[in-house]
Amino acid sequence: MQRVASLFLPQLAIERLRRGERQRRNERSVTPPEATHTAASRLSGPIDDDPGACSVPRGGGWRPGARWARAGESAGDLARRPAQSDIDALPAHQRPTMREMGRRSEPAGHPFKTLRSDDGHGGALAAAPTWAMLWGTPTVLVLRYGQKDVISAACPRALELGLLPGMAAAHARALVAGLDVREAEPDADSVFLDRLALHAARQWTPSASVSGPDGLWFDLTGTTHLFGGEERFCRRLLAFLKRLGFTARIAVAGTPGAAHALARFGQNAVTLIGSGEEAQAIAELPLAALRLAPEALVAAARFGLERVADLYPMPRGPLARRLGLKTVERLDQARGLAGEPLIPVVPTEAPSVSRRLLEPIGTPESIAQVIGDLVDDLVLLLRKRGLGARNVLLSADRVDGEVQRLAVGASRATRDDRHLKRMFGLKMAMLDPGLGIEAMHLAVPLSEPLGAQEAGALLETSRKARDLAPLVDQLATRAGASALFRMSSLESDVPERAIRRVPPLATPKGWPAWKRPARLLKRPEQLSNVVALLPDHPPRRFTWRRQSYSVVAGDGPERIHGEWWRSPKEMWAVRDYFRVEAEGGARFWLFRRGDGVEAPTGDLTWYMHGLFG
């Protein structure tokens, strides 16, 4: 079940400029250390090189009440000091503090007592200071279109005065005297959003993407439990942005379109919508919440369509004909009837190479030639960065606008060009060139550091074991990645619990010293017509799957007790395992329930559990 959060920063452009101004103002207001030292020297006179038992650092200024300052007082100074009886006679609000009297027993206030928690459960978020309180002057940002300056963003106070985005700057100056007009910086705003998305991908969720010039999308599927739930995550995110000086709203829904609409046109700072409730939640929102084109909004107003709910009963054919096919797509995406992929930001730039062709190609030979050239370029780039590819994605742009994708994976980081070409050759039949391919790209979504390799592994006389990774990759390409595995052991006494699947290149560990079959039956199968001498002898005859077997050799028993810490039913459970060989050479691994002496240990039934060979 997908959960998507949409973050909306309504005043991003202006608040980013104001934040930069505050940082520069704070940097200018910091007094240099030399100036501070000079002022202290001028106030305190010559520095005492031997202050004795003093509570202040050497060379620092004095404070009222310091022991070395009181030691230098003259008799007249001591006579002028007020007596304790005179201080007690003063009203409480006029008495000097203990620190002013030179006493050091006054407790200091807790330095973090006034800080508020940002973990999401510290109560409702306090309202941000108004623009009038912070700066007092209406502020707008303008962009130049041709010969005219147009407002691109306005602060809340400017919006209250009727200055809206899209208005000419000259008209705004005529309406409001003393208007603060500044140049907009859309590139800097985009860079800030990219940085915020990268921070989110590293700290909050692995998938974050930019959703326009004023917001972000977060894929919260399976991640919010790390922060205490969706609401607590949203509160922490808003508190984080508030400390940075940004106003924000956030909405969480099952689809990106619904979350985007509720974040921008909702009334609450945090909006949470359950999966499947998107259609009802956005029904009363205006049509602009669906991210429709301006022409579609004008056409909808001409037909009297104002809310999203007005589109629900309309037939899809007339709706697409009047408002465009994109409107139907946006409506389906918001309601969850059509998918909308999110393009996540990548913390590091993935290695990629491209080739644009002069003429479209479609024959297998030409496609293989271009893939080979791309692989050669990619290997050079990987070697330059010291990386090895684990996944390589091939994208082919067809002349009809469709993109064909082909991916290959490696079980171990590699930059062997022949191996990569061979794997793409095994999958090239899945590539549909259509009317022709005009561009091809190779990218490495997943890579790992790969240093220099020993040259001895390339020599025929080398005693180093051959690398099985190329063979595993080719087999996985043909049969599928899930078809290749190895068996390893787990810490358990019960055989069916003591094995697990591991990757094909992993080294199995912990196999018992006695012989056991590598593959067990999915479930032990009961035997019939068993003839055996109790208590410690293997069976002489048994029937399994309607076929009788005569045992010619046997070894055992290997006694295994139940794991009583897992289940009380296994407190007295006992299994006696035997390795037997039947006529014809078949070898089996079977067991008897019970030790043949105590009844609670088992009912003495026999089961087939595995086969050797």
> 239: helix, coil or strand?
helix
Q: Residue 410: phi, psi to the nearest 5?
A: -125, 135
> 38: helix, coil or strand?
helix
- Residue 591's pLDDT is 93
| Pairing of β 4-8 and β 249-253 | antiparallel
3-state secondary structure string across 47-97: CCCCCCCCCCCCCCCCCCCCHHHHHCCCHHHHHHCCCHHHHHHCCHHHCCC
Please compute, for residue 603, the number of CA atoms within 13 A of its CA located in the half-sphere on the CB side: 3
Q: How many CB atoms lie within 10 A of CB 238?
A: 21
CB 299 within 8 A of CB 323: yes
CA-closest candidate to residue 524, choices 432, 591, 449 = 591
Please compute, for residue 117, the number of CA atoms within 13 A of its CA located in the half-sphere on the CB side: 7
List helix spans (H) across 97-185. 131-134, 156-160, 169-175
| DSSP assignment letter at 286 | B
319 vs 564: CA distance, rounded Å: 67
Q: How many CB atoms lie within 10 A of CB 85?
A: 7
Q: Letter for the amino acid at 420?
A: L
| Pairing of β 547-561 and β 539-544 | antiparallel
Q: CB neighbours of 245 closer than 8 A, spacing ≥ 6?
A: 15, 18, 19, 22
CB 289 within 8 A of CB 314: no
- Residue 96's pLDDT is 65
The shares of helix, strand and coil residues in the chain, as percent rounded to the nearest 5, are: 35, 25, 40
Interhelix angle 256-265/325-335, nearest 10 degrees? 90
Q: List, for the chain, all residue ranges whose pLDDT scores fall below the cut of 50.
A: 31, 33-79, 99-101, 103-106, 112-115, 117-134, 457-458
CB 294 within 8 A of CB 367: no
Q: Letter for the amino acid at 344?
A: P
Spatial strand order of the sheet with 139-145 comes to: 148-154, 139-145, 180-183
Q: Which domains does the chain have, with CATH numbers?
A: 1-24+117-137+179-347 (3.30.70.270), 138-178 (no CATH), 352-455 (3.30.1490.100), 517-612 (no CATH)
CB 376 within 8 A of CB 394: no
Which tokens belong to 605? 């039934």
> 376: helix, coil or strand?
helix
- Cα-based distances in Å from 467 to 51, 410, 416, 425: 74, 13, 12, 21
H-helix or E-strand spanning residue 37: helix 33-44
526 vs 605: CA distance, rounded Å: 7
Q: Letter for the amino acid at 388?
A: G
Q: CB neighbours of 582 closer than 8 A, spacing ≥ 6?
A: 549, 550, 551, 552, 588
Counts of helices then strands in the chain (DSSP H, E): 18, 21
Beta strands in 240-341 (DSSP E): 249-253, 270-272
Chain centroid to CA 62: how far?
53
Assign residue 195 a region (left: φ > 0; alpha: ψ between -120 and 50; beta: otherwise).
Answer: alpha
Taking the whole predicted model, whether its pTM rises above 0.75 is answered as: no
3-state secondary structure string across 169-207: HHHHHHHCCCCEEEECCHHHHHHHHHHHHHHHHHHCCCC
> Where do we find the tokens 């037997």?
580
Q: How many CB atoms lie within 10 A of CB 64?
A: 12
CA-closest candidate to residue 589, choices 506, 504, 498, 527 = 527
β-strand partners of 554: 580
Q: How wide is the angle at C-alpha 233 spanned by C-alphas 231 and 235, nearest 5°? A: 70
> 543: helix, coil or strand?
strand
Q: Which residues of 8-39 are buried (b: 16+ CB within 10 A; e: fewer)?
A: bbbbbbbbbbbeeeeeeeeeeeeeeeeeeeee
CA-closest candidate to residue 308, choices 295, 320, 292 = 292
